[in-house]
Amino acid sequence: MVLAQLGGSIAAALARMGKATVVDDKVLAECLNEISRALLQADVRFETVRDVKANIKATANLDALPAGTDKRRVIQKAVVGELCRMLDPGKPAFTPTKGKPSVVMFVGLQGSGKTTTCTKYADYYRRKGFNPALVCADTFRAGAFDQLKQNSSKAKIPFYGSYTESDPAKIAVEGVDTFRKEKCDLIIVDTSGRHKQEAALFEEMRQVSEATKPNLVIFVMDGSIGQAAFDQAQAFKHSASVGAVIVTKMDGHARGGGALSAVAATKSPVIFIGTGEHIPDFEVFDVKPFVSRLLGMGDLSGLMDKIQDVMPVDQLPDLVSGAFTLRLLYQMFQNLQNMGPLGQLFSMIPGFSAQFIEKGKEKEGQAKIKRYMTIMDSMTEKELDNTNPKLMNESRIKRIARGSGRLVKEVVDMLEEHKRIAKMWNKLPLNNRKLNTNSRDSLK
């Protein structure tokens, strides 16, 4: 996902700032310029970027800080805080209550993924014990009825629609009434996403909304539409009282800025993101974890703080710009072993979490680290600092296994593990390191 590039660039700007010998207005300005560039490249609107920059500057307020304050940390916090604020309009969206009938209307342009998302949303709540139902109020697009019907039968969700009725408001009301009687507690109304004229589309939306009185109107937006997102979201906001946003196609080449713009335009929170064509490809959207992942593919914002404790500062440059060698891994293990709860720390390191901190398996994680360190103890200096993938041939691996009293397989596993973690680090475009822009691994 290209969004990773945005996070990586911001993290890189913070890391560079973190390395400056003195943090002054000039360093802050450079850092903010880098962050602004990254946001603009991710398709966030100029006006939003300008505000973000001004807000970070005002929050950090370097001149007013008492002597001895850790300015780096103040700036990092201001950046993370501002990114969260940008994505969080401050008022939570309506959430349906089990057993109490709610009507949720979906709006958005044709092709945005609206119909697919209606089913995903219904399925999500059904799994939570709701009794959802779908109503197709799109009479404009031939095939809309069949598509929603097909989706709903796949997901085993009751469906209402009509082949012959041409008044969307009438169908919507009939559908809502039918399902109210059937004691459905979440009635989802899918509306048309296209008309001959835009004005007619918005007028139809208004009529359906007036007829069904939805508790929530969700605007569905294609995450890959870039700069156009702001105007589109604003147009929908003006015509229907949008209360929440779902951004789709975040699995593809979405640069992510569209999501930020939609929040700014509708002043409504993003509640879910679509990450694929299938029903389970749907994720709850929470601002803080999202920003953390955005910045570090783990919790890099926390890691930045922690890392300065576990890593002597003079080693930071290596970590940030150099290759992720075995020696670096060893040093990290060593420093981490002297620190508090390992699980918490590892969860912040991109690429580590799954392997080392599986809940209840922290002891095994620690044993694994010890084993890996023993293996590395039998390596030569050259091997520890190696950046050539071909160096570790069979005879070296056998020698290391013998020397450490470990199995060849364990050495191979450790090398694979190192490669995997190094790959995660390399995805961060630190110092303009090239990103694998299509990969989703980094955000899992």
Amino acid letter, 388: N
Contact (Cβ atoms closer than 8 angstroms) between residue 201 and residue 195: yes
**Environment class of residue 213 by beta-carbon count within 10 Å: exposed (0-12), middle (13-18) or buried (19+)?**
exposed
- State the minimum distance, in angstroms, from the CB of residue 220 to ligand GDP: 6
The span from the CA of 71 to the CA of 183, in Å, is 57
Contact (Cβ atoms closer than 8 angstroms) between residue 271 and residue 241: no
Measured from the CB atom, the residue of 138 and 383 that comes closer to ligand GDP is: 138
- Residues with Cβ within 8 Å of residue 354, at least 6 apart in sequence: none
Asked if 113 interacts with ligand GDP (CB under 6 A), we say yes
Contact (Cβ atoms closer than 8 angstroms) between residue 1 and residue 275: no
What part of residues 322-381 is at the interface with ligand GDP (CB under 6 A)?
A: none
Amino acid letter, 385: D
Angle at 91 (CA atoms; ends 87, 215), nearest 5 degrees: 115
- State the minimum distance, in angstroms, from the CB of residue 10 to ligand GDP: 24
Minimal CB distance residue for ligand GDP: 274
Amino acid letter, 313: V
Measured from the CB atom, the residue of 113 and 302 that comes closer to ligand GDP is: 113
Position among 111, 317, 340, 405 found at the interface with ligand GDP (CB under 6 A): 111
Span from 105-113, 167-175, 211-219, 317-325 in contact with ligand GDP (CB under 6 A): 105-113
Residue carrying the six token digits 């349906």: 96
Contact (Cβ atoms closer than 8 angstroms) between residue 331 and residue 385: no
Asked if 59 interacts with ligand GDP (CB under 6 A), we say no
Question: Which helix (H) or strand (E) segment is 245 a member of?
Answer: strand 244-248
Measured from the CB atom, the residue of 36 and 119 that comes closer to ligand GDP is: 119
Contact (Cβ atoms closer than 8 angstroms) between residue 158 and residue 152: yes
- State the minimum distance, in angstroms, from the CB of residue 248 to ligand GDP: 4
Position among 7, 132, 193, 256 found at the interface with ligand GDP (CB under 6 A): 193
Measured from the CB atom, the residue of 115 and 268 that comes closer to ligand GDP is: 115
Kindly write out the interface string for residues 240-269 of this chain, putting x where it contacts ligand GDP by CB under 6 A and - elsewhere.
--------xx-xx-----------------
Measured from the CB atom, the residue of 280 and 312 that comes closer to ligand GDP is: 280
Measured from the CB atom, the residue of 111 and 280 that comes closer to ligand GDP is: 111
Q: How many residues bind ligand GDP (CB under 6 A)?
A: 18
Residue carrying the six token digits 């850790």: 70
Residues in the chain: 444
Phi-psi region of 342 (alpha: psi -120 to 50; beta: other; left: phi over 0): alpha
- State the minimum distance, in angstroms, from the CB of residue 124 to ligand GDP: 13
Asked if 108 interacts with ligand GDP (CB under 6 A), we say yes
Asked if 224 interacts with ligand GDP (CB under 6 A), we say no
Span from 20-28, 50-58, 180-188, 273-281 in contact with ligand GDP (CB under 6 A): 273-281
- State the minimum distance, in angstroms, from the CB of residue 365 to ligand GDP: 34
The span from the CA of 106 to the CA of 209, in Å, is 10
Measured from the CB atom, the residue of 209 and 404 that comes closer to ligand GDP is: 209
Measured from the CB atom, the residue of 110 and 439 that comes closer to ligand GDP is: 110
Contact (Cβ atoms closer than 8 angstroms) between residue 346 and residue 417: no
Cα–Cα nearest to 376, from 368, 385, 384: 384
- State the minimum distance, in angstroms, from the CB of residue 125 to ligand GDP: 18
Q: Which residues pair with 104 in a beta bridge?
A: 188, 216
- State the minimum distance, in angstroms, from the CB of residue 96 to ligand GDP: 21
Please count the other Cβ atoms lying within 10 Å of the Cβ belonging to residue 283: 15
For 46-111, the DSSP string reads HHHHHHHHHHHHHHH-GGGSPTT--HHHHHHHHHHHHHHHHH--SSPPP---TTS-EEEEEE--TT
Measured from the CB atom, the residue of 144 and 336 that comes closer to ligand GDP is: 144
Position among 81, 101, 276, 403 found at the interface with ligand GDP (CB under 6 A): 276
- State the minimum distance, in angstroms, from the CB of residue 218 to ligand GDP: 12
Measured from the CB atom, the residue of 113 and 132 that comes closer to ligand GDP is: 113
Span from 6-14, 35-43, 108-116, 167-175 in contact with ligand GDP (CB under 6 A): 108-116
Give contact residues for ligand GDP (rule: CB under 6 A): 108, 110-116, 193, 248-249, 251-252, 274-277, 281
